[in-house]
Amino acid sequence: MSSLILNGHEVRDRIFADLARRVEETGRRPGLHVILVGDDPASAVYVRSKGKACEKVGFTHETHILPADISESSVLDLVARLNADDSVNGILVQIPLPAHISEEKVQRAVLSEKDVDGFHPENLGRLLAGHPRFVACTPLGVQVMLEHYGVTVAGKRMAIVGRSVIVGRPLAMLMTLKGSAANATVTICHSATSDLAGVCREADIVVAAMGVPGFMTREHVRQGAVVVDVGINRVDDPGAKKGYRIVGDVAPEALEDWASAYTPVPGGVGPMTIAMLLRNTWDAMVLQQG
Ligand code: GUN
């Protein structure tokens, strides 16, 4: 049985085309500002790709690169300045932040109407309460991708491995909302789950979001299940040009000719995250300006 590949590039390109058309037709250009603290190489790559994406669709963007030893209050000052600037529609603080800066404090400081990451407690609360506004980009990307490829989640059992506030928890909330692209029966699994493999094998859809390269094997995936691999892990590879390659949280044996459909890494969920960031930024502009 060959597997259906859920191609994030393809869906992202459609979403970009739609946003570029809106910019073209209305002449409105939402502005996204990204704050990057320190020089984590993976974060620098993500931030660059966010800027390139903005250029592709015609959004304005600015990246504020701050030194790793900057004070928490200086970061909060910058957030306050961007909150007050009407040309800034979306604010994204790239995480992780250095240990001396509280991520929670900084995320709370972002005006919830500009919180295109969906990490502000008000936006998390709205999702929990069943009337979401800005939903975190990766969970939203998973939902849009599954819907695009006609993978039904309503009535299905979904196992989400990973309970982060970036992916696992908001995805569980999103998938258990009422509605045709939701209505799933969700189990959140984590490091203390007993018989993880057994729990995952009961699922129709398995979402791997714990950030451990190749952790999930055939033992965790019932044959014919759908696999969504959210992992983006760098592993050393002396044979590769950059000295590393990117792998997911799911081992290849549990994907091709085993899953009925799966998201590849790279090229699956990753591009969807950026597409949803831009969509949230458009929505933020509309929320702020009508
Ligand atoms: N770091 C890893 N993923 C994300 C994300 O979706 N948003 C932000 N702000 N930082 C991240």
Can you give the pLDDT at residue 35?
A: 98
Cβ of 117 less than 6 Å from ligand 1: yes
Provide the pLDDT confidence category of residue 222 given band limits of 50, 70 and 90: very high
Q: Which active-site residues does the annotation give? A: 50, 94, 117
- Residue whose Cα lies nearest atom 8 of ligand 1: it is 94
CA-based nearest residue to 274, from 78, 19, 66, 41: 19
Collapse the DSSP code of 69 into the 3-class scheme (helix H, G, I; strand E, B; otherwise coil) and give the result. Answer: coil
Q: How far is the CA of 8 from the centre of ligand 1 (A)?
A: 18
Interval 164-176 mean pLDDT: 98
Model confidence, pTM? 0.97
Mean pLDDT of the chain: 98
Provide the pLDDT confidence category of residue 1 given band limits of 50, 70 and 90: confident
Mutate to test the pocket of ligand 1, among 46, 48, 75, 110 (most ligand atoms within 8 A of CB): 46
Interval 16-22 mean pLDDT: 98
Can you give the pLDDT at residue 245?
A: 96
Can you give the pLDDT at residue 28?
A: 98
Are 204 and 12 contacting, i.e. CB atoms less than 8 angstroms apart?
Answer: no
- Tell me which residue has tokens 């969807």: 272
Rounded (to 5) percent helix, strand, coil in the chain: 40, 15, 40
**DSSP secondary structure letters along 112-142:** GGG-TTS-SHHHHHHHHHT--SS--HHHHHH
pLDDT in tens, 239-257: 999 999 999 999 999 999 9
- DSSP β-bridge partners for residue 158: 186, 205
Q: 51 vs 163, 215, 229, CA distance in Å? A: 28, 32, 24
- Residue whose Cα lies nearest atom 1 of ligand 1: it is 95
Structural domains of the chain ordered from first start: 28-111 (3.40.50.10860), 137-269 (3.40.50.720)
Can you give the pLDDT at residue 276?
A: 98
Can you give the pLDDT at residue 246?
A: 97
Tell me: pLDDT of 45 over 80. yes
Cβ of 93 less than 6 Å from ligand 1: yes
Tell me: pLDDT of 124 over 90. yes
Spatial separation of the C-alpha atoms in residues 127 and 116, rounded to whole Å: 14
Q: What percent of the chain has pLDDT over 70?
A: 100
Interval 147-172 mean pLDDT: 98
Tell me: pLDDT of 225 over 90. yes
Beta strands 244-247; 233-236: pairing state: antiparallel
Interval 118-132 mean pLDDT: 98
Q: What angle do CA 255, 257, 258 make, to 5 degrees?
A: 55
- Print burial letters for 156-184: b (CB count within 10 Å at least 16), e (below 16): bbbbbbbbbbbbbbbbbbbbebeeebbeb
Cβ of 278 less than 6 Å from ligand 1: no
